[in-house]
Structure 1
């Protein structure tokens, strides 16, 4: 008979119990029908958004619904709302992973960020998504702080945070020229300055 270590001696045991979660399979049943309806009305912005709001109102504490909301606003290039939903996903995941509410306070020893489990991977992806949308909004300090946190927690670089940081701050101005460079005389279309 094999002896197993008690749960407290296995710090990553809890995370393995979360692994069977399938994000797309964990939506309320009629939400899937609404998703099809959203795509059918994609070109009708108001109708599509009303359907997204219905999904959110129906199951606001469901991770899958939060992901749907994030993706909707992200693809609509509505970065303020997309950033909100990225943080909402981060909040949901932080509660399940017993992480601090503030992503800035998270350290690598608080969860198993190295083995690329479903929840920790999505936590890092959510923070990257938040960073990207902050960049689109011209909030450089917040965006780069979030990317630096991803880089700290993902030292193997699976999410490419270091490269994304180079893209955001480099002289070429890739990715939609997110941050204006000193030598450029244009305004970013999503900035509050007009």
Structure 2
């Protein structure tokens, strides 16, 4: 294609990003650190120190941001995990030419239908953001993020409708969701002596 050719539409440009191989998109020096992280996974402080080191080495690398997200997510540190989910959205939005604020993204701004690597990761990151906000009890923000996922993924491939049902239903799963009417349903509350006397 000559340099004078007319610009391609956004949906065509996305194809140039395919495929996204996670392991192929990390700086070489990061691979050794990853092995160390897994070797010290049960040593929380050591593992986090290594994670911080790879972040410092390549803070603007998508793969590093994903590593950071996964680390904090599996540690059930939802505030940090939500931060890194947003960091992934920020990185992907720049590459896709999307608004910096995910709330301003519309379906016609990128090809969210055919699930190219970067648009898929963008949607997954927003879903992850919503999930971690739910764990933090930030209901309004979490459901707002899920609204956007459903708007951009109306077929529900990412399972946003199911997540909404789990988030908003009477019974929460895994101790990570909003307070519910029956939030203590797993535990039988014993009557106090004063209650039994009434």
TM-score using structure 1 length: 0.89
Instruction: Give the length in aligned residue pairs.
Output: 181
Shift of 1:175: 4.0
Structure 2 residue runs of 5 or longer lacking an equivalent are: 186-198
Three-state SS of the structure 2 residue aligned to 1:148 is helix
Q: Distance in 2 between matches of 1:135 and 1:90?
A: 18
Whether the aligned pair in 1 keeps the contact of 2:172 and 2:183 (CA below 8 Å) is: no
Q: Who is 2:181 aligned against?
A: 182
TM-score using structure 2 length: 0.87
Q: Who is 1:87 aligned against?
A: 86
Larger Rg: 2
Q: Who is 1:57 aligned against?
A: 56
Shift of 1:171: 1.5
* 1:1-194 mapped onto 2 (5 Å cutoff): 6-8=6-8, 10-176=9-175, 178-184=177-183
Cα RMSD (Å) of the superposition? 1.5
Shift of 1:155: 0.7
Shift of 1:177: 5.3
Shift of 1:11: 3.6
Query: Is the alpha carbon distance of 1:67 and 1:158 closer, same or farther for their aligned partners in structure 2, counting shifts above 3 Å?
Result: same
Whether the aligned pair in 1 keeps the contact of 2:99 and 2:105 (CA below 8 Å) is: yes
